[in-house]
Structure 1
Amino acid sequence: MPLLLLAFFVVFLVASYFWRRKSPGRGCRWRKDKTRDKGSLSFYHCVACGAEAYTATNGTPKDCKSKVTSRPL
């Protein structure tokens, strides 16, 4: 019986590890900076990952922009 409980515990730990590894993590927390707005575009800065983005929609950007790279000028 104790061996069966130990086996269930180990399976639970392994399953929770793989489930958590696929989760996006902390998620972006966007803050609006009105001083950097450009016309109808609103500027947002993420305090979790450091990404910066402009958006024309009402509200914050919907997805994380930390992996987006810009082309050199």
Structure 2
Amino acid sequence: MYVVTIMKTKELTKQVRDKVVEKYEAGLGYKKISRALNISLSTIKSIIRKWKEYGPTANLPRGGRLPKLKSRTRRK
């Protein structure tokens, strides 16, 4: 029996995403960008796909319900 755990990862900085787009515009392929920046191939594809669709490389807002408690209330 195998147990699969899904780990959350940190978001890439805007500078890293800009570097991915810069290399893509320079003519490098997904694999070469992935190897050069040591980022997974699927992440490279996702960054470029979002860049083509939405334009800027800023973090997109996430879906989901807003928290009921404000951060100040949670700290108490």
What TM-score, normalized to structure 1?
0.24
Bigger radius of gyration among the two: 1
Higher strand share: 1
Q: Which has the higher helix share?
A: 2
Q: With CA pairs under 8 Å and 6+ residues apart, which has the higher RCO, 1 or 2?
A: 2
> How high is the TM-score relative to the length of structure 2?
0.23
